Structure 1
Amino acid sequence: MTRSARFAATCLLLSFTAAPLLATAAPKPPTAQQTLMAKCSAQNKGKKGDEYKSAQKACLSGGAAPAAGNASQQRMKDCNAQAATQKLQGDARKTFMSGCLKKQ
């Protein structure tokens, strides 16, 4: 058997053995962001141009996630202000910040 014939046979064998492995991979469920984007896109179907863009922006920003982000940012801001008022530094500041962020 020539070198090129062995190579072709090996490629053929690999293609048959690898195909079932690739076909058995289960599709991943969509993330929350992907689900939200699909929902907003379906709601705004038929709109075009700037009207579509503004409707998408309003729909995508109307979720609960930004509110949670703002609450955690506010908590961090408040704890930082308290630590600055108490003039904490180093390990004392780290310990204070950890406790402050957990209790609020």
Structure 2
Amino acid sequence: MKTLITVVALSLASLAGSAAWAKDSADKTTDKAAEPSPARTAQREKMKTCNADAKAAGKKGDERKAFMKECLSAKKQ
């Protein structure tokens, strides 16, 4: 009987610890996702622009890949 009580107690403690760890991990993930850095925001905008330009030009395959590489590596003026 003591063994059964010990096993149940350890199981409950393990579950409680897992839940606390999961909540802590979720809080850290949410904080990072809430505010992207200015560099990340700028890169996303650049990607949107280059993607739209490639689509408008009808580029596909290797031609599109080369276009995107060139467009994304271009410096802002």
TM-score norm. by structure 2 comes to 0.47
Bigger CA radius of gyration: 1
